[in-house]
Chain A
Amino acid sequence: MTRFLAKRGILIGVMLLGLLTLTFFISHVAPGDPAHLRAGPDATPEMVEVIRVKYGLDKPLMTQFYVYLKGMLVGDWGESIHSSRKVWDELVIYFPNTAELVIFSILIAIVLGVPIGVLAAVNQNTAIDHFLRVLSISGVALPMFWLGLMLQLFFALKHPLFPLNGQLHVLLDPPDPITHLILVDSLLRGQWSLFINAAQHMVLPALTLSVPGMASIIRVNRAEMLETLNKDYIVNARAQGLSAFRIIGMYALRNAMLATMAMIGLRFGWMLGGTVMVETVFDWPGVGLYAVNGAINNDFAPIIGSTIVLGFFFMLTNLVIDIIYGVLDPRVRTQI
């Protein structure tokens, strides 16, 4: 296990370096002049030049990369040209918000997706199954930004059940941080009205972000359940007189979950990326929105910083999924 973790840890380091290199060069060779944008439309060429020199943008690309890498090694993630603040300080504020959104979305996707998949498999080729199939295929196919907009239109504007956007009402202050997740912290501190307000703000964006993931979890879990229910050990379990509930809910589901776990991991990663879209639509103050603003302003350090953070958690998720495999499947356990 230690060997396995060490190997994977090194691998994640190598992948992060690759990701950083790619993002650095892609963002730097893309057209646009950050210094010009920062200086504003009325700036004189001299003022633009001052900014360019200050941020080292006048140096050759390789030198800039070298300087950036050297900074990263000592924990300096660079500075946003736009806000003049350290990228690390901003990520620390934004990341918990993204984490909160993604965690709730994946929970919704799992808690609804897995049982619905089982339900569809058990009722294979009946009206229920066909209905759920239409639902799940639409879920995969719908573009997230469109779905978000429609939900806003319907549930925030036409029928104002939920707030349109944001993470908290503007007049409310977030709770004193414990975990930095607003829902969790307000609960821990017993601030009920705050909790309810935060929960209301969470519903629409979390739903939007969870739908594609939920749909693919349904599809994979249905297919896996169908395959598992045809396995010999299920026939044996029936022949021995086990109840249908135990056969489906324990004997089959645990085997089906092996493949479904892979999809959950993949979808968790997608959701981290999907936050870029959902946070923009719902004005959610997270890393995704931060990255989008960085891209609009040609602000390199925030773009690279957000990508590294999201990429790191993507890789971490895959590692966690591999460990869960070991928990679920004893045959894998002996190999790691």
Chain B
Amino acid sequence: MSESPLLSIQDFSLEFNTFDGVYQAIADVNIDLAKGESLGIVGETGCGKSVTAKSILKLVPSPPGRVRAGRILFNGEDLVQASEERMRAIRGLDIAMIFQDPMTFLNPVFTVGNQLVDVIMAHQRFLPQRESRSRREARDYAIEMLRKVHLPNPETQFHNYPHQLSGGMRQRVLIAMALSGRPQILIADEPTTALDVTIQAQILDLIGELMKDLGLSVILITHDLGVVALLCNRVVVMYSGQVVEDASVKALFDNPAHPYTQGLLAAVPHPGRSSGVLSGIPGQLPNLLDPPKGCRFQARCSKAMAACGEMAPLKRIGKDQSVACWLYGEDGHA
């Protein structure tokens, strides 16, 4: 990683104030995204992957959310410190996001065309004068975008309301919306979780195609390792608000280093080869209102040791692989 990354999350910690105390959702997270890279963030529900992604665009409501420490650098600019007005110029135009459930992320009382045109028009004031569009031109551009995401009959669908569209079609509309500002980075927060399996494949194909065509850098948040293998070239594994492993897809699948990653991969069922009983990781998630000191996986880890009371830094153990675990010494071997 010689050139400086496009997006760099550095020592980022975020907590939520709740009635029961301070919920330490994200602890000292470090993630880099290089230009043109496709990065997957995997982890189970509640591991902080969505909150991390939303933090990039400052979409975590505050209160209750509060950044305790760290920086999120985009082209050298710290987004944690950026004003709301500055963030508006970044959202959609530099960094765009698509979400988990297309059923609920479109406004039910406006036509999809109306919402798309609204987004395009909202971007106007941040674009140079020569690129400005009238509402009519925005309409044409919106239909062009809908065509680009392969929505059938875009002219007709333009006038339809979200409830008249299927889930896959709505996700296409949301993708068109996200890409209408020609962003450099697309954050996809579990974009296929709420869809049927066949539709999932179509949407993944579409994202893959757009990544290539538009030269997007992508952060793909998912708990589906298959999706990661399909679309990403690098993976960050998160557990309970901490980054435990950061590796190329090949290195991670060939040689998972962190005990949690090993457990995660072992839990993937292999049709035909499995004994019929799904394996899992014993124990349960730590309580983040009062998290253990150091590594949050230690209570469930078969290889836990005294040193785990302090979190290990991410350590390079191979060409494309870093891991945050004391099992790996200075020489990079267990």
Which positions in A face B, CB cutoff 8 Å? 231-233, 235-244, 246, 251, 254-255, 258, 328-331
Q: Which residue of B lies closest to A258 (CB)?
A: B109
Whether B168 sits at the interface, judged by CB under 8 Å, is no
A204 to chain B, nearest CB (A): 38
**Does the CB pair B104–A233 fall under 8 Å?**
yes
Q: Which residue of B lies closest to A333 (CB)?
A: B161
**Does the CB pair A236–B106 fall under 8 Å?**
yes
Residues in chain A near residue B119, CB distance under 8 A: 240-242
Interface size on B, residues (CB 8 A): 33
Q: A243-B122, A330-B163 are in contact. Are A233 and B105 (CB under 8 A)?
A: yes
Residues in chain B near residue A328, CB distance under 8 A: 109
**Does the CB pair A240–B177 fall under 8 Å?**
yes
A–B complex contacts, Cβ < 8 Å, 25 sampled? A233-B108, A235-B99, A235-B105, A236-B105, A236-B177, A237-B107, A238-B59, A239-B96, A239-B99, A240-B92, A240-B96, A240-B122, A240-B178, A241-B88, A241-B93, A242-B118, A242-B119, A242-B122, A246-B122, A254-B109, A328-B109, A329-B108, A330-B109, A331-B161, A331-B163
Residues in chain B near residue A254, CB distance under 8 A: 109-110
Which positions in B face A, CB cutoff 8 Å? 54, 57, 59, 84, 88-93, 96-97, 99, 101, 104-111, 118-119, 122-123, 126, 161, 163, 174, 177-178, 181
**Does the CB pair B57–A239 fall under 8 Å?**
yes
Main secondary structure on A side of the interface with B: helix
Q: Which residue of A lies closest to B104 (CB)?
A: A232
Taken together as a complex, chains A and B put the C-alpha atoms of A111 and B121 apart, in Å, by 29
Taken together as a complex, chains A and B put the C-alpha atoms of A77 and B126 apart, in Å, by 67
Taken together as a complex, chains A and B put the C-alpha atoms of A331 and B163 apart, in Å, by 7
**Does the CB pair A255–B99 fall under 8 Å?**
no
Q: Which residue of B lies closest to A329 (CB)?
A: B109
**Does the CB pair A330–B181 fall under 8 Å?**
no
Taken together as a complex, chains A and B put the C-alpha atoms of A329 and B104 apart, in Å, by 15
**Does the CB pair B99–A236 fall under 8 Å?**
yes
**Does the CB pair B122–A255 fall under 8 Å?**
no
**Does the CB pair B59–A255 fall under 8 Å?**
no
Q: Give the 6 A-B CB pairs with smallest separation, nearest first.
A: A241-B92, A241-B91, A232-B104, A330-B161, A236-B105, A233-B107
Residues in chain B near residue A255, CB distance under 8 A: 107-109
Q: Which residue of A lies closest to B177 (CB)?
A: A240
**Does the CB pair B91–A240 fall under 8 Å?**
yes
